[in-house]
């Protein structure tokens, strides 16, 4: 499991595959647990639920990402869960 903090989510872009089918891609820019800025491209045809979830992420959202290696050896984001940070600190007085 990888915990990331969203820096930016790009605008979906349309592409056409060699077989003529259209798909969309979106780039997610995030900070990892070592505070390094990285990016990851997600495609609408691969792990559709992850692509849909990423489309709604905003700056500062923390997400747990389940990463698995596919049969060709590439890492894939196969599941995501937004982290609920609702605990209040000393400076977060609700009134």
What does the chain come to in residues? 95
In this prediction, residues 69-74 reach a mean pLDDT of: 93
Q: Which two tokens stand for residue 52?
A: 């849909």
CATH homologous superfamily of 2-82: Nucleic acid-binding proteins (2.40.50.140)
pLDDT attached to residue 92: 47
pLDDT attached to residue 32: 94
Main-chain dihedrals φ then ψ at residue 51, nearest 5 degrees: -60, -45
pLDDT attached to residue 94: 44
pLDDT 10s digits, 9-68: 999 999 988 888 899 999 999 999 999 999 999 999 889 999 999 999 999 999 999 999
């Amino acid at each position: 499991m990888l915990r990331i903090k969203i820096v930016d989510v790009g605008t979906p872009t349309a592409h056409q595959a060699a077989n003529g089918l259209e798909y969309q891609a979106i780039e997610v820019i995030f900070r990892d647990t070592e505070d390094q800025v990285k990016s990851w491209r997600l495609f609408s045809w691969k792990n559709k639920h992850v692509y849909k979830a990423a489309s709604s992420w905003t700056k500062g959202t923390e997400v747990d990402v389940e990463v698995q290696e596919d049969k060709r050896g590439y890492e894939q984001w196969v599941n995501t869960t937004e982290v609920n940070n609702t605990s209040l600190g000393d400076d977060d007085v609700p009134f």
